[in-house]
Structure 1
């Protein structure tokens, strides 16, 4: 009777049956008052720890070796920890060797162990040094978090060795280290603790778009991201075109192949993903026989290679797929007038007899007048051979297991934007109109702008991808997924047009110009940035916007810090083709418990040289903001979640004490 009364009382005090269901589910995990109290104490303690260190990277563009090195050296943080521990007690050469050992333990060990006269002594010294670096790297985390980061094989040993040494335990520590050496496990321990240090120094990794295209090993970058313990991705336009290709959108498939040919990276498709390009090669050799395809020679081809058989074939494949892309894009644009992309319909503006094209009322001469697969009367119609080829390629992309696994990672860990710890992360822009207001865009009959527009695009992409086996269900979604690659008001692209046709077929620089969205004209304006932050529910007094997409011309004096510190553009040219523009080789933005730090990287030659010559990426660090007081977990995005968990547990405790929820354990 008393229990029923208390249950009625609970229901009357703004509770419900759903509340009771929730509390009973929570009780499965915390089956006693003691268990709930212990978890509350644990969570409250975590709230008062310093926040973990976040690393922000962008525009990787397939540069696997550079990306991998930046992760392994934690954007210079590993070397910083070594300098803290051994500032005046280790030679610079020894510090370099220890750093490279932590980055590449397996490879470096093979070299070092072959050079040592007294290997046991070297092991003894090195194990102690690694333990000291690990101890400093772990000092701001809970024992629970540190243990979760430990490699399982050596978790107990590392846990013991991380305790602060003292006179009473010195012999005990020495015994553990000697035992590791005696049982011939020193190599394995060095590998394990090195990876443990790497993990501790990056608590959260943010990838702000453009993993794919230009560089040769986007698949390897995706392998790393797929297995990373704590990562999020904000999609870039070069990611979305691959995502759309994996969805089976034929225009996007053609764009992916064209870009791979443009940067001579067809190996990524053929070798890494197993996409069969033989049908394209066969078609291109026949359709463009005798055509030199000079405008389609891959970028950065050495002059001595231009006449090679491989480059000639790649150039023909490049032109063939580009023409197919223009036809398929034309189909989408003509079916979707609401996209307002009619200016991109250029195949019907060509005078095929004169070899000219009319753009914005100007008749311009084409630098390539050979279009053997285009019917001037119906220029967007695929030939029979092109139709068969497009279908074969669609099948290859749809049923490539590795590609689909990587694209699912982009969906599971990615989104159009992310609001995290008072930072707003997105790759390109928030579309603005000519007056600087949030741009309205009509999607499937509804108007969206700002945050709602990004949310709707996110939903559209997910719907299109997860219904890829039934394209007829989501034809409009598929069209807008393609639009995100090159549409005028795509937040991932941010330009009025993608001048693909103009760059290949015209020499006129004016028509090749791609005018940026108003966002890029106003991103230096603090008030505009504050309005965008407010649109996404963030406090502009303490929040920032973090972008990639547009390389920062550091060599010409451009700063990555915009709008009085409200906005950071951190595309510093990790992609090698852009390093001539930026003058550097990438940025990492680092957000620790005290400050925001921008690390500016020099170019990375190769992993091989790093291991052999102990050459590191030199990172110049500059402070952007320094907190007046240390930032704790309770001040962060995670802290907000922990507070909610504490509230839920307090509700469970109250229910236990009133007898509304049965205690499931006496412990």
Structure 2
């Protein structure tokens, strides 16, 4: 088909949606006007690690965006306490209303409702001002869409409408719907303050509620996810990959979080429990101490969990050993350590040097074939594999990760990825072999992501198995962009006292990523050459207490993992970095630990956040400057061609 004929055919298809000059012209005007609106606010979070309360709170406050909007609207008209109370109402409307009712307002609740509804309307109107009325209307909760739209789009400064607005509010209160309207307005504000959310990896592991975080994300209005290594290992577990299943279980046991699997996902751990109690009945499993939370863990379970911890760790080492032997191209023979143990002498050979073993009780390890699972271990893993693969909620969550996620994303002239772009010692892209072919830079990401998707979606058993094994590879291999270290020294941390063996050397990326030429090379590799482009990544905690800064290379690279996970906070000294990018530029927030929802509701306390301006744009960004803006410009061009076709008689209006 000739090019002109193809274009004409496309215009015919487009004409079904816009059948005449009037409808086409109206859409052109609509799209052209959208381009001039301020760019929506993007919100970047990384390394959530199951800390669902802090995660949910940061989402609600938009990393300080809600507070800033309140300050902009009320300035000195409200006291700091009044602004703090209003912010808390927006974050937790139902809880705050319940507390106010119980605090003695009694018959004065109607007065409180009037004041708060009017303040919420003002904030909501300001937050919605950068969107079209059509987008605002679609985003409003259905039950109160008409009421809220009337309240935030009308002109209260006109005397003719003042009585109309007041009557709406008083009627809502009189019929007992004020609490629901406050909830609806609060949710709308949170929705409008942040237009799009980026999760830059590691939703899972360490914290007590990754499944709750996933439930929250699945309801979020606009989100993308860059997979972290802890996400990938759960994705592998959902496919039935045994090494990934064992790793997920070991991590959950180590952090006292087996209830995530049992209660959160409904996975039956009884087979592992029985096996561990029988096999390690007389073993105190002292090397498998738990990293539990004081006051949040039932110590009565500690002995059982230690035994389950050890049982699954030994199984993991065996399955990983089998996998390494099946894939010599992984070049991971240095991780084969079960066959390097001499249990009679109590030593293990690592990198040619002998070390004393801290634990010599390996009742299931056969010296003749140390990586073979015992009959009982195999039976446990077979049952667990079925449980993971048939877990409806886990499959739902992992399916969402695949649909909304990837190893990297370019978005509005920035590149987002979790770990690192693998580099060699000279700071150049490292050449990596995957399945017999060589890749580096962007090509490595693209090839690896395709393999990971095959592990979940492929129909062909051989292709699917290859992808499943690559999910484990991506979790822990030295060349994995989401791991970025030379080894995962799990065995050494359990069984060897010498901490030199525990060291996991970072990829050279972390040596070079503060250099301008390196950042420029990476941005160019991913097709980004705008002077305002940035690299945004997480993965490696920023040790703020030692003076380390998250802003690298003069602000061109930003690391936003600062310790959401409570397990990291003693090391980092803070509770996470988050980033927002609005029409004026980038704002980096360093958060203090979140105490609790109850404390926030009762006292109006918030996460204390020190906000740093990373970059202020020379000109306020509009929709025209975004990826969506480029798509709209293309749509306008096509509509103008359709308009011309109508006017020249190539197409006939209907």
Q: TM-score range by the shorter chain?
A: over 0.9
User: Is residue 530–residue 540 contact of structure 1 (8 Å, CA) maintained in 2?
Assistant: no
Q: Which residue of 2 aligns with 1:4?
A: none
Q: Does 1:194 align with 2:186?
A: yes
Q: Does 1:145 align with 2:135?
A: yes
Q: Which residue of 1 aligns with 2:50?
A: 62
Q: In 2, distance between residues paired with 1:301 and 1:159?
A: 46
SS in 1 for 2:368: coil
SS in 2 for 1:226: helix
Q: In 2, distance between residues paired with 1:641 and 1:53?
A: 18
Q: Does 1:351 align with 2:342?
A: yes
- Aligned equivalent of 2:200, options 204, 208, 211: 208
Instruction: Report how far residue 584 of structure 1 moved.
Output: 1.0
SS in 2 for 1:368: coil
User: Is residue 451–residue 467 contact of structure 2 (8 Å, CA) maintained in 1?
Assistant: yes
Q: Does 1:403 align with 2:394?
A: yes
Q: How do 1:280-319 and structure 2 match up within 5 A?
A: 280-300=272-292, 309-319=300-310
Q: Which residue of 2 aligns with 1:655?
A: 645
Q: Which residue of 1 aligns with 2:33?
A: 45
Q: In 1, distance between residues paired with 2:385 and 2:422?
A: 31
Q: In 1, distance between residues paired with 2:5 and 2:295?
A: 75
Q: How do 1:332-347 and structure 2 match up within 5 A?
A: 332-347=323-338
- Aligned equivalent of 1:494, options 476, 484, 491: 484
SS in 2 for 1:452: helix
Q: Does 1:253 align with 2:216?
A: no
More deviation, 228-237/91-100: 91-100
Q: In 2, distance between residues paired with 1:276 and 1:486?
A: 26
Instruction: Report how far residue 456 of structure 1 moved.
Output: 1.1
Q: In 2, distance between residues paired with 1:30 and 1:548?
A: 45
- Aligned equivalent of 2:72, options 84, 91, 94: 84
Instruction: Extract unaligned runs of 5+ from structure 2.
Output: none
SS in 2 for 1:213: coil
Instruction: Report how far residue 648 of structure 1 moved.
Output: 2.3
SS in 2 for 1:191: helix
Instruction: Report how far residue 246 of structure 1 moved.
Output: 0.3
User: Is residue 416–residue 458 contact of structure 1 (8 Å, CA) maintained in 2?
Assistant: yes
User: Is residue 548–residue 569 contact of structure 1 (8 Å, CA) maintained in 2?
Assistant: yes
SS in 1 for 2:77: coil
Q: Give the direction of change, closer, same or farther, for the CA distance of 1:226–1:109 in structure 2 (3 Å limit).
A: same
SS in 2 for 1:379: coil
Q: In 2, distance between residues paired with 1:355 and 1:188?
A: 67
SS in 1 for 2:127: helix
Q: In 2, distance between residues paired with 1:392 and 1:522?
A: 46
User: Is residue 229–residue 474 contact of structure 2 (8 Å, CA) maintained in 1?
Assistant: yes
Q: Give the direction of change, closer, same or farther, for the CA distance of 1:442–1:604 in structure 2 (3 Å limit).
A: same
Q: How do 1:620-659 and structure 2 match up within 5 A?
A: 620-659=610-649
Instruction: Report how far residue 22 of structure 1 moved.
Output: 3.1
TM-score normalised by L of structure 2: 0.97
Q: Does 1:123 align with 2:113?
A: yes
Q: Does 1:108 align with 2:100?
A: no
TM-score normalised by L of structure 1: 0.95
Q: In 1, distance between residues paired with 2:521 and 2:296?
A: 53
User: Is residue 342–residue 348 contact of structure 2 (8 Å, CA) maintained in 1?
Assistant: yes
- Aligned equivalent of 2:607, options 592, 599, 617: 617
Q: Give the direction of change, closer, same or farther, for the CA distance of 1:372–1:185 in structure 2 (3 Å limit).
A: same
Q: In 1, distance between residues paired with 2:304 and 2:267?
A: 17
Instruction: Report how far residue 610 of structure 1 moved.
Output: 0.9
Q: Does 1:135 align with 2:125?
A: yes
Q: In 1, distance between residues paired with 2:88 and 2:451?
A: 45
- Aligned equivalent of 2:575, options 585, 591, 596: 585
Instruction: Report how far residue 519 of structure 1 moved.
Output: 0.4
Instruction: Extract unaligned runs of 5+ from structure 1.
Output: 1-10
Instruction: Report how far residue 540 of structure 1 moved.
Output: 5.1
Q: Which residue of 2 aligns with 1:415?
A: 406
More deviation, 276-285/180-189: 180-189
SS in 2 for 1:22: helix
Q: Which residue of 2 aligns with 1:168?
A: 160
